[in-house]
Every structure is written in structure tokens, then in C-alpha cells.
Chains A and B, each alone.
Chain A
């Protein structure tokens, strides 16, 4: 399935957001995720099913002013 993750195209086997994070080697309790512009809380990633063409954002803490 083709997905857009942080604006880059990925061809993945994962069918849920949680599985996608594992497949792309993202780990850590500090990550925030959004699917097609809507926030997906960590506890909902397991049952968040992905479909072809979905846009996913994976963010983490960064320096800020």
C-alpha cells in the first residue's frame, strides 16, 4: 500500500498506524501522529486502519522559541 509519510512516498505492508511506526522504525513515547490532518492519539494507533494514499505526519519534540 502506498502512503505519504511526512510528505514522502512509502510502499508499506502495515495496515494500521501502530504497525506503520514499527515498520518504518519509529519508536518512543514522545511521538505524535496525525492521519490526513487529524490527530491520532497514541492509544488509538492500534485500531487506526490505513488506506491507500493516506497522509501521515509523525512529529517529535524539537527545540523551539
Chain B
């Protein structure tokens, strides 16, 4: 079980709801993944449009918890206001806080992120900060009131997997009791398993499932990989060795030469 802001979940996969071929495929992918938390956003509704309502009804029918995001916000004010509007619509204090600092890399503006996190935490929000793997920023976010961290492992949508495993390992080592969720950059189930083997508590991903040839099958594959990686971490992994070590006992070998 994983505990996030006092809520317990069996699944260690948080799944995005964007970029799927259709709403029906998205719904099937969520079910196949086993995810109990999905991310959603807020966007302008067109006059008379009912698309938002239909989408929200579909998400509610899945029986999962929603994690609204502030995707696309480039300033503290934008992010804080978006979070407040999301709380109104989705009825949750949870917010995936994104304050984007660079258009090309979608790298978080960590200075704005810490400031926005402090404001939102003081207003009773339970903040899921999308951050870099920087240790000092992580400390500042915790001081600001965050009780979990969501470092990227590579840029959003880049499908590269962990670009700096040492930094992820360092965060894990420094914050043994803080839930750590890798958010962004995962491309393959093996990438997800790899970060889970480092001891990460969960993975948040979207594009790797939504843009797969068969999103539903990929969602199931990710669910298994994340479970496998976590299981391996809990079981205790063998560290790499420089020399070969025979696995079959050498004692008791026949003298045949």
C-alpha cells in the first residue's frame, strides 16, 4: 500500500487522461492499468459546449481519485488561481502543481514552484509538486508544506527514462520517509520498473500509455512493470559485481580430467 496525504492506495501507478485516441480507450486504459488516481486539468469551455461535462462524467464513472493539475501555467499567480478553480470544480484539495519555466523542455520554474507551493499549502491544498531532481529544491518544497515530491526523470513526453539515476537515488536516500513519485519522462515499462527498483513509491505517466500502438495493453504492461519493480526493491536487489561468480556450487565436482 502507498499512502499519499493520508489516503491509502494499492496501485503505484498514477495515470494521465490526455492524448488517448478516444475517451473510451482512455477509460479502458485506466481500468487495465489498475491505477486508482488519474490526472485531469481545466481548460476554457466553449460557449454552449458540453465536452467538459461529458469528460468529467466519464472520469467519475471510473471510481478513481482525481489529481487536477496546473499544466501550462508559467507564473505563480496563474498556478495558484488555476488550483483554486480546480478545487472548486473537482472538489478536492489535491493539486499537481506545475509552474513551467521553459517552453522547450517544460522544465519546472523551481523558484515559482516553491512560492506557489507555500501559498497553496497555507490555503489547505495538498500539493503534489512537479519538480526537478534537485535536492535543495526538494528540501525547500518540503519546508513549504509539501508532504510528497514528484521529480521528473526526463522532460515531459520525451520517453527517455531516468536521465540521472544518481540524482534520483540521492533524493531517495535523503528523504526515506517522504513519498517520492517519478513524474514525467517515462517511455517504457522497463523505465518505470527501473525507478521503482530505486525505491521510488510510485510513477506518474501519460504519454507512454496514451500514444502506444495499443494504449490498453500498454497500460496493463506498465501496471505489471511498476509492481515488479517495487517487488524487486522490497526483495533486496543484488548489487553489480566486477567479476564472475559461479552460481552452481564448485564443491563436489567430479575429477574427470
Contacts and interface: CB of A to CB of B under 8 A. Distances in A.
B135 to A, nearest CB: 25
Contacts of A31: 45, 52, 89
Interface string A50-65: 0000000111111111
B9 interface: no
Interface of A: 6, 24-26, 28, 30-34, 37-39, 41-42, 57-65
Contacts of A63: 16-20, 26, 40-41, 55
Contacts of B90: 61
A28 B47 CA distance: 12
Interface stretch (B80-88, B114-122, B137-145): B80-88
Nearest to A5: B47
Interface in B18-65: 18-20, 26, 39-45, 47-53, 55-56, 59
A31 to B, nearest CB: 6
24 contacts: A6-B44, A24-B48, A25-B48, A28-B50, A33-B85, A34-B85, A38-B81, A39-B85, A57-B44, A60-B51, A60-B53, A61-B59, A61-B89, A62-B41, A62-B52, A63-B18, A63-B26, A63-B41, A64-B16, A64-B17, A64-B39, A65-B39, A65-B69, A65-B206
Chain B interface size, as a band, is 35 or more
A61 B88 contact: no
Interface of B: 16-20, 26, 39-45, 47-53, 55-56, 59, 68-69, 71, 77, 81, 84-86, 88-90, 156, 206-207
A45 B244 CA distance: 72
Contacts, number: 103
A63 B33 CA distance: 17
Contact of A30 (B19, B52, B71, B207): B52
A65 B53 contact: no
A20 to B, nearest CB: 11
B155 to A, nearest CB: 13
Contacts of A26: 45, 47-48
Nearest to A58: B45
Contact of B81 (A6, A34, A62, A64): A34
A59 B45 contact: yes
Contacts of A64: 16-18, 39-41, 68-69, 71
Contacts of B41: 61-65
Nearest to B44: A6
A39 B88 contact: yes
Contact of B43 (A41, A42, A59): A59
A59 B89 CA distance: 9
Shortest 4 CB-CB distances between A and B: which pairs?
Answer: A60-B52, A64-B41, A65-B16, A65-B206
A55 to B, nearest CB: 12
A64 B83 CA distance: 14
